[in-house]
Amino acid sequence: MTNSSGSSRTLSPPLPFRLRIRAVVRSHPLTSFLLFTVVLSWWPWPLYATGHFPLPIASFGPFLAALLVLGLTEGRPGIRVLVSSMLHWRVRGRWWLAVIAVPVVITLAALTVNLLLGAQQPSVSQLRAWTGLPLTFAAVLLVPGFGGTWEEPGWRGYALPRLLHRWGWKTSSLMLGAVGAAWHLPLILSDQISWWDLLLVVASNVVLARLFLASGQSVLLMMVLHATNNTVSGNFVSRFFTGADASHQAAITALVWAAVAAALLAGKGTKATCQR
């Protein structure tokens, strides 16, 4: 090609599509993560709507998105860090106790308030279902797509550490909570969960962020917390109620999570930063 001054300049051939995608992802890793998360999570929605899939969302989408972005930006070392955090079990016993106790106490507190407000008492057979909780917990924790546990490698393992440096843990947790709430929309619009869960997701993101940083950034602990909550609240207590009582349980549970989150946000919090 010849310019107006008569000199020549050779144009570089366009980059292959694969390299262009990698360049875009490397320039905008968090945005790419969010876009990949939507694509890899919401693909079952139309299949669910037509009766060809059991759920409207693939809950392991954030994990797959994190692996994809890490593969394109940091390669095996980045993936290795994420997987190591998912196996990071050498944490002080008090944090193991916390990640199990927090969702159990919140759920039981909401249940107590609901019963005091006049909700129907659970039957003996419903209460006896507690014997199945260990198996349910194991399935939710270990099986991708069975519950929301495998969201955590994406939200806490990838996104939160990369928000911390710029925004701090409080703002980062609220931002991630808003994104997570929007991510749950297919479940809400399909009547799988309550609209109150929008508040619950935002509030629980604050609690999880605080525990994640205070406990040494173990994604495994966050997966255990998520699995505990889904097991106790979603697969046990929520089945006690129908109709208005079920709506009240969802609302009270979300409000208790919000109260805990507000207390954490009002406090001095942690100055822990991401080590990655």
β-bridge partners, 8: 2
Per residue in 149-164, pLDDT tens? Answer: 999 999 999 999 999 9
CA dihedral for 187, 192, 195, 200, sign (positive or negative) = negative
pLDDT recorded at residue 2: 41
Q: What is the pLDDT of residues 90-136, one digit of tens each?
A: 999 999 999 999 999 999 999 999 999 999 999 999 999 999 999 99
Between CA 100 and CA 217, with CA 169 as vertex, the angle to 5 degrees is: 45
Backbone angles phi, psi at 118, to 5 degrees: 110, 10
pTM over 0.75: yes
d(CA 149, CA 141): 6
Q: Which residue, among 219, 198, 266, has the nearest Cα to 62 in the 3D structure?
A: 219
Residue 25 has pLDDT above 50, yes or no: yes
Computed over every residue of the chain, the mean pLDDT equals 92
For residue range 55-102, list pLDDT tens digits in order: 999 999 999 999 999 999 999 999 999 999 999 999 999 999 999 999
Does the structure show a pLDDT above 60 at 269?
no
Taking each helix axis from N to C terminus, what angle separates 160-183 and 29-42, rounded to the nearest 10 degrees?
30
Q: Residue 199 pLDDT more than 50? A: yes
